Amino acid sequence: MGDASSSQDNGKLSNLRQPHRFITGYNDSGEAIVHKHNDFIWQPYDEDKLAFSVAYTTNEFPPDLNQDVDVVNHEDLLSSGKLGLVNPRGTVLRCVDFAPGYACGMHRTQSLDYGILIEGEVDMVLDSGEIHKMKRGDVAVQRATQHQWVNMSTTQWARMMFVLQDCKPLVVGGKTLGEDLGTNSGLPPSGN
């Protein structure tokens, strides 16, 4: 079952382990099987100091899993090249590798995000000036706030896994706060 690719780096920049994705499904008897599996495919950004891999997306809530509609929608979205950080009305599961010493630009998504630090240490910097050091296993619940990620190590790559979920527009102090991709994302707008 599936399309096992394993010997290629698939665009991976870091020296961290190459993750492998398993998508489950059902056989004709209704038993669980691995429908598809493959190594993560990476997209480099910001002069190879940042790499994204989108493991999965959904485009509605709750998602429709019948006849593999969700799988087809995910593959169509990735092949379109139109995915921003957030998928309107859906979710994005994205793995991000940060080079030693790298700081992404300050940015905000219109989404509720769960960010789990898997490898290394990363500072979460908020526009208020707060800085919080995250260590392996720590979780950030980003609620459409202006923030950036900084890998303070001068020698080690860091890796985070994010689940981004579209959210209703956020209004704070009478002002609607929408997506702000900052200066160095290289990504198209999310359109939500």
CATH code, domain with 93? 2.60.120.10
Each residue's pLDDT, cut to its tens digit, for the chain (192 residues) gives 444 444 357 899 999 999 999 999 999 999 999 999 999 999 999 999 999 999 999 999 999 999 999 999 999 999 999 999 999 999 999 999 999 999 999 999 999 999 999 999 999 999 999 999 999 999 999 999 999 999 999 999 999 999 999 999 999 999 999 999 987 567 788 989
Tell whether 150 is covered by a domain.
Answer: yes
Q: What is the pLDDT of residues 55-74, one digit of tens each?
A: 999 999 999 999 999 999 99
Q: Residue 127: which domain range?
A: 44-168
Distances (CA, A) of 161 to 18, 26, 32, 71, 172: 13, 27, 25, 20, 28
18 vs 6: CA distance, rounded Å: 9
pLDDT mean across residues, the chain:
93
Q: What is the pLDDT of residues 71-103, one digit of tens each?
A: 999 999 999 999 999 999 999 999 999 999 999
Tell whether 190 is covered by a domain.
Answer: no
Distances (CA, A) of 183 to 21, 106, 158: 31, 8, 21
Assign 157 to helix, strand or coil: coil
Tell whether 6 is covered by a domain.
Answer: no
Tell whether 9 is covered by a domain.
Answer: no
Tell whether 82 is covered by a domain.
Answer: yes
Q: How many domains does the chain have?
A: 1
Tell whether 75 is covered by a domain.
Answer: yes
